[in-house]
A and B are shown apart, each in its own frame.
Chain A
Amino acid sequence: MSAIADQELEVRALAQSLRRFARALTGAAPGCDVAPGAIEEALRAARQAPDPLSARIEGYRRLIRRYAIQGEPAAMTPAARPGIDAVLALQRTSLDATRKWRALSGLDPAHRAALLLVVVERLPYACAAEALDMAEADFIKALARAREALAGRLAALGACGRRHLKLVS
């Protein structure tokens, strides 16, 4: 495969990864994307990076700054590719996945970003800390707090769900 084709595949994979990250970071509704402008801006910044890993870090950093640090409200659009997003949306709509999605959406944005970078995007701590503009030691503490918070929210939502189920029955 030519170098240009390789590069194109890399860019497509990066765009896909940034879209997914932005959706999860902003708690986008199933079938919705954050506005394409935000992804394009992150991609432009990523393309200036010297290597693929740095490009990913730079892309995530742009989205984190925009949505988690500056707190810009995410402008939503219907998903550009309904095929894939419909599948993902359906996967999210099982009762249990909905609960997890709600628990994640309720976390502090910086905690949500830390969890997503490590657990979903599988970045090493050093890279995730860089994307969040944090020292690695601070990042690890934030990640531990994020996991505690997620467990607490899931427990609370689980108890709430069980109460509702009892009422219904």
Chain B
Amino acid sequence: MVEPIRNTDLCALLDGECDAGARARLEAELARSPQCAERLALWGRNDAALRLAVLGGRHAGPTLDAPCLPRGSQAPQEPSLTTDAPPRNVAGALLAGFAGGAACGAAALAMILFG
């Protein structure tokens, strides 16, 4: 009898925490279970969105479409646009300024929509 896929299995698969044998078994199961495959894809998208919200655009990290980076050894670094290390690319900084204006507008819209 085939074991059903549990949510903890999906987590382990998503986070690269299962060994090769378990991974192969789960992937075979997922091919037969579109609901579980959809949940896994959704969680992968949510993870990427969470990284984007906390770390910013350049650190959104992998989604299910890309292999996971090895975890554990290095904390992800925040963008190096600090006051003590100015951006090297002046054009990029200007563009970031314009994008900032647009983002402020989006923030105002968000406040109106979401209170």
Q: Give residues of chain B (33-61) contacting chain A, Cβ–Cβ below 8 Å.
A: 39, 42-43, 46-47, 49-57
Inter-chain contact B7/A144, CB cutoff 8 Å: yes
Cβ-neighbour of A104 out of B53, B55, B77, B79 (below 8 A): B53
* B69 on interface, CB distance cutoff 8 Å: yes
Q: Give residues of chain A (148-166) contacting chain B, Cβ–Cβ below 8 Å.
A: 148, 150-151, 154, 157, 160-161, 164-165
Which residues on A sit within 8 Å (CB–CB) of B74? 122
Size category of the B interface is 35 or more
Please give the number of chain A residues whose Cβ is less than 8 angstroms from any Cβ of chain B in the complex.
56
| CB closest chain-A residue, reference B40 | A147
Which residues on B sit within 8 Å (CB–CB) of A115? 50
Inter-chain contact A168/B79, CB cutoff 8 Å: no
* A94 on interface, CB distance cutoff 8 Å: yes
Inter-chain contact B83/A83, CB cutoff 8 Å: yes
**Distance in Å from the Cβ of A136 to the closest Cβ of chain B?**
10
* A77 on interface, CB distance cutoff 8 Å: no
* With A93-B103, A93-B106 as contacts: A20 and B17 at CB distance below 8 Å: no
14 intermolecular pairs with C-beta atoms under 8 Å apart:
A90-B99, A91-B57, A93-B103, A93-B104, A97-B49, A98-B110, A98-B114, A101-B53, A119-B47, A120-B50, A122-B71, A150-B50, A151-B42, A161-B113
Q: Which residues of B contact A (CB under 8 A)?
A: 6-8, 10-12, 15, 17, 39, 42-43, 46-47, 49-57, 69, 71-79, 81-84, 96, 99-100, 103-104, 106-107, 109-110, 112-114
